[in-house]
Structure 1
Amino acid sequence: MLGGLGGGGTGGGLLQGLMGGLGGGTDNSGGGGCKKYKIISARGTGENQARPTGYAGFISGVLSAVPDGGNYEVRYAADVNYATGPGVGAADAIRYITEQHSSCPKQMYVLIGYSEGAMVITQLMNKPSLPAENVVAVVMYGNPYFKGGAPQNSCGAKGGAGVAAATGISMPAKFSSITFDCCNPGDMVCQTAGTMITHLTYPRSANEQAAIKFAVEKIKAGKGVDAGSGGTSTDSSKSAAGGGLQSLLGGLGGGGGGLSNLMGGMGGLGGSGLGGLGGGGGGLPGLGGLGGGSKRRRARQ
């Protein structure tokens, strides 16, 4: 998910290549007008802005189960600039939610992020202006900020730490009761050790169904976060020592480039492996490199 996930320059993303036909697609216009709830979604690296596939099943499942919902796909590059890209996405999300909240003060929000998108959602939750009382559910897949032992850890991995956990950025504790932070054992993004293949196993899985059930129950309960409860975690503007995320993760890809080398900018589908993973060798046969340089369409609000 992190790292281009592209296929030949069309912006389709690795998930489209490996899991084509996932179906659905999202209402990138935001659903229009006031709704009972809006799903605010932030895609992973290289996913198409207009039709991301990684959480399409989640979105369609929730929208089918609870009437009068809409979806807004966060506008950001979703490229390999992990130091600042998630902050750009969080800024777009809070802009949209602020505008919506002004016109639709009773509208509820479900937040979902996959991979780099989970970084966007985490930074969004740290925004002081977020109307937390209207946020009823948060779902994250393969979260780079994942931290073991947290009460919101909802899938197989309960311990360990994500590749960006050492930045000190994490979600405010007050959101834990409404958060489904899903990390699979062996997911190299939310566990640091493991494989990229495992990072791609959330769609169409039992965990996806559990996430849908979780969000549906929270929407029906209609209870957001008490704005005065808990505390906030490290502010998203603060970076770890050593130049932030990019330098913090330097060397994971076999030489100084951080996540950009580890997972990003890797050719189109059809090569001989996860190019660049672990320093470039043959990688994992059959997953031809996770593409970069894709063209992305801007969604219209």
Structure 2
Amino acid sequence: MRIIGNGRIWQRSAAVVLAATALTGTAVGGGSAAPAATCSEVHVVAARGTNEPGGAWSKYHLGTVVGNPVYNAIDAALAATTTAYRVNYPASLTQPMSVQAGNRDLVDHVVAQAAACPEQKFVLVGYSQGANVVANSIGISSAGAKVGGPIVATLPASVEPRIAALLLFGNPIREIGKAVTGTYAERTYDVCNDDDPVCDPGGGNWNVHLHYTRFAGEAADFAAGRL
């Protein structure tokens, strides 16, 4: 396990399904693109992984592997008020513009939310294909990475100071030797399980790509330290 930043579930049958969708996945529905009705102090924006269920039991349906547990950990770690938004995109391997759709929706949502709530801070969360969505949105292209694509929108400079943390899990750009650099580097928590073929060059164990829930508390602490 390797972490960049402040250091580096499903049953097995589900693991096999997600591994298989690395080649043949299908879409999962998205959420609303409207800004939150109230202005919390911290707004978590999460882009789920390919075919990752949102979690019908959860408040925001951010994703069962990463989004929901990370949001819950952030909410518990902070005295501040929090809200969350699930990026509205296919999270699919069969739709060639999936990442670009997520990239556009994330940027549009954060820009609108920032205008509606001038004091709000943001935490961006991305898992697997969702990490590509986040990378594109801060100007780091995921083209050439697994489930990647070219940039179609970037967060404006006026919003950048309000992005408190980026929390990335199973980040595909790592597998092609890229990482978050520049302005956002010190605000980025980026974890890759050893032998995860999505983010670890030469990795071959698809099952470990599903085991990122265990980092929720550590990621939340990282974000809390930057809020």
Normalised by the length of structure 1, the TM-score is 0.55
Give yes or no for contact 2:169–2:192 (8 Å, CA) kept in 1: yes
Q: How many residues align?
A: 182
Q: Distance in 1 between matches of 2:191 and 2:48?
A: 15
Structure with more strand by fraction:
2
What value does the CA root-mean-square deviation take over the aligned residues? 2.8
Question: Which residue is equivalent to 2:115?
Answer: 102
1:58–1:189 CA distance, 2 compared to 1 (3 A): same
Q: Distance in 2 between matches of 1:201 and 1:184?
A: 8
Give yes or no for contact 2:27–2:91 (8 Å, CA) kept in 1: no
Structure of larger gyration radius: 1
Question: Which residue is equivalent to 2:196?
Answer: 187
Question: Which residue is equivalent to 2:208?
Answer: 198
Match of 1:40 among 41, 45, 62: 45
What does 1:134-283 align with in structure 2 at a 5 Å threshold? 134-146=162-174, 162=175, 165=176, 171-192=180-201, 193-203=203-213, 205=214, 207-219=215-227
**Alignment partner of 2:225: what SS?**
helix
Give yes or no for contact 1:36–1:68 (8 Å, CA) kept in 2: yes
Give yes or no for contact 1:123–1:171 (8 Å, CA) kept in 2: no
Q: Distance in 2 between matches of 1:28 and 1:60?
A: 21
Q: Distance in 2 between matches of 1:92 and 1:28?
A: 7
Cα distance, 1:31 vs structure 2 = 4.6
Question: Which residue is equivalent to 1:120?
Answer: 133
* AA matched with 1:65: A
Q: Distance in 1 between matches of 2:92 and 2:107?
A: 20
Question: Which residue is equivalent to 2:156?
Answer: 129
**Alignment partner of 2:119: what SS?**
coil
Runs of 5+ consecutive residues of structure 1 not aligned to the other structure? 13-25, 147-161, 220-301
Give yes or no for contact 1:142–1:184 (8 Å, CA) kept in 2: yes
Question: Which residue is equivalent to 1:76?
Answer: 89
Give yes or no for contact 1:27–1:71 (8 Å, CA) kept in 2: no
Cα distance, 1:11 vs structure 2 = 5.5
Structure with more helix by fraction:
2
1:68–1:28 CA distance, 2 compared to 1 (3 A): farther
1:10–1:80 CA distance, 2 compared to 1 (3 A): closer
Cα distance, 1:37 vs structure 2 = 1.1
Give yes or no for contact 1:142–1:189 (8 Å, CA) kept in 2: yes
Normalised by the length of structure 2, the TM-score is 0.71
Q: Percent of aligned positions with the same letter in both sequences?
A: 25
